[in-house]
Structure 1
Amino acid sequence: MTKSLKVAIAEGLPPQTLFKLRSIKRALMGQPPPERPQAAEAPAPASEAVSAPTDEVQPAAHEPRTRQTEALERLDAHKISAPYLFFDVDDVLILPAKEIARTLTLSVMYINSADVKGDIAEFGTMGGFTARTLANAMVFDPRYQPNHPLRTLRLFDSFEGLPEITDKVDLESQHVKSGTWSKGGCRILSANELRTMVEAIIPPSRVRIYEGWFSDTVKQLPDDTRLALIHFDGDLYSSTMDALVPCFERGFISKGAVICFDDWNCNEADPDAGERKAWADLVSRFNIVASHSGDYAIQSTKFIIHSYRGMKPRMD
């Protein structure tokens, strides 16, 4: 009978090469590795069948080769897969951005699936990356919000960079002392550039841009405003309070809303600085009950709001 091509190829390969190919195939299929081939050599005489005693611990003869066996051999031979096989040099640069985009996208999907009432707001737009991410996640709203008005993307920024830093909490923070954050910092896009960028993704009717300091622009929101998701990237303690105090005071934030803090772990993750300090003060001031839903990327975190003093009832 004529041999199959697969059998012919297998018989023509060196034993070690064949072993490697079979090991890869079994690993992909979740199976234990094959028996390692033995080097071809003449059988030992009967008188030499019993080897001399050795200090090396040998596996019991009845133990089969398993994935554990292969793993320990690779460990001992220093052949463990290196991190760069999973994250290359490009990933090192963009992995945090991927994590941010993933979290914001899933947050938009969450407020749709949970039917949380309200719009999406971003405080601090910088280069427009997260604004575009949110807009991209909102393109499916016509399917996921069939019985509700489509959400509006509300974007707040001074477009002049960070404000003059005068608050004592900020002046004592590590990022301000080092000069990482300073007046005029983080200024990249103009309001028109941001508008052009975002309105290429969702219709202009779904976008509102508020140009100015948070303490002034939040006042422009009508009393019936509801927010289902807030992405806060204002860096400073004072900016966080300027934006979020009015939102809680006026009952804008809906039950089940998500608040994502971009700079949570800045300032050496000091609980007495920046967004961490601001959140603690907000929780105390408004008796906020929320679930901490975990960190993401390298310095960000998120919460889901359950209740707070002044929360307004749902209005469909």
Structure 2
Amino acid sequence: MVDTGYWRESEDASPPGTEEMLRREFTRRFGDSGWTIVRGMYEQSLVSDPLQREVAIANLDCDLYVSSVQVLDHLLGNRLLPDGAVLLLDDYNCNRANPRFGMRRAMRECFARTDGFYDYSEFLSYGWHGRAFFVHRLGDSPNPDAEVGA
């Protein structure tokens, strides 16, 4: 890896007041329960405040390969995505959409580590950068190809 100096710590941090604005908006739209804002980098926040319930829609704005792997491994490894869940990958087409980098690489590698328990299929594109996928939970769902009564 080459350090080009492009990424700097806290450079892309949310502007001051963002968390309070989100709290107000979420409370207005969803009430004051059933959601949580977790601050911090994925490597710490996924451990300190781990998600333990299934997620129907996950919006990943991870920017980089490493953070994408951290989040996907957490969701897939803990089986937090039900059949039919939607993954929104905001940075899927970054890195010139090269499958050897970023979210494209992370998706391929993380789903492969599930040994067939999970699969995914393309749903839709949004903007030049984003792609949405349906998640298929094959490991514990009925197989219509299995012989009936065998």
Gaps of 5+ in 2: 143-150
> Which of 24, 30, 38 lines up with 1:202 in the alignment?
30
| TM-score relative to the length of structure 2 | 0.78
Cα pair 1:232 1:260 within 8 Å, conserved: yes
* AA of the residue aligned to 2:98: D
CA deviation map 1:155-175 (0-9, x unaligned): xxxxxxxxxxxxxxxx46xxx
CA deviation map 1:169-211 (0-9, x unaligned): xx46xxx7472x4432321244333212332322121321111
- Cα distance in 1 for partners of 2:14, 2:50 equals 25
Runs of 4+ in 1 over 3 A off after TM superposition: none
SS at match of 2:37: strand
- Cα distance in 2 for partners of 1:177, 1:186 equals 16
Aligned length: 137
Cα pair 1:227 1:252 within 8 Å, conserved: yes
The structure having more radius of gyration, on CA atoms, is 1
Question: Is 1:295 the equivalent of 2:125?
Answer: yes
| Corresponding residue number in structure 1 for 2:147 | none
| CA positional deviation for 1:272 | 1.1
SS at match of 2:131: strand
Cα pair 1:293 1:303 within 8 Å, conserved: yes
- Cα distance in 2 for partners of 1:265, 1:281 equals 16
| TM-score relative to the length of structure 1 | 0.39
Q: Which of the two has greater helix per residue?
A: 1
1:69-108 residue pairs with structure 2 within 5 A?
A: none
- Cα distance in 2 for partners of 1:204, 1:231 equals 21
SS at match of 1:215: helix
| Corresponding residue number in structure 1 for 2:96 | 268
Cα pair 1:199 1:207 within 8 Å, conserved: no
Cα pair 1:294 1:301 within 8 Å, conserved: yes
RMSD, aligned α-carbons:
2.5
| Corresponding residue number in structure 1 for 2:50 | 221
Q: Percent identity?
A: 23
Cα pair 1:251 1:312 within 8 Å, conserved: no
Cα pair 2:76 2:111 within 8 Å, conserved: no
Structure of higher RCO (CA pairs closer than 8 Å, 6+ residues apart): 2
Structure 1 residues 289 and 213, CA, compared in 2 at 3 Å: closer, same or farther?
A: same
| CA positional deviation for 1:297 | 1.1
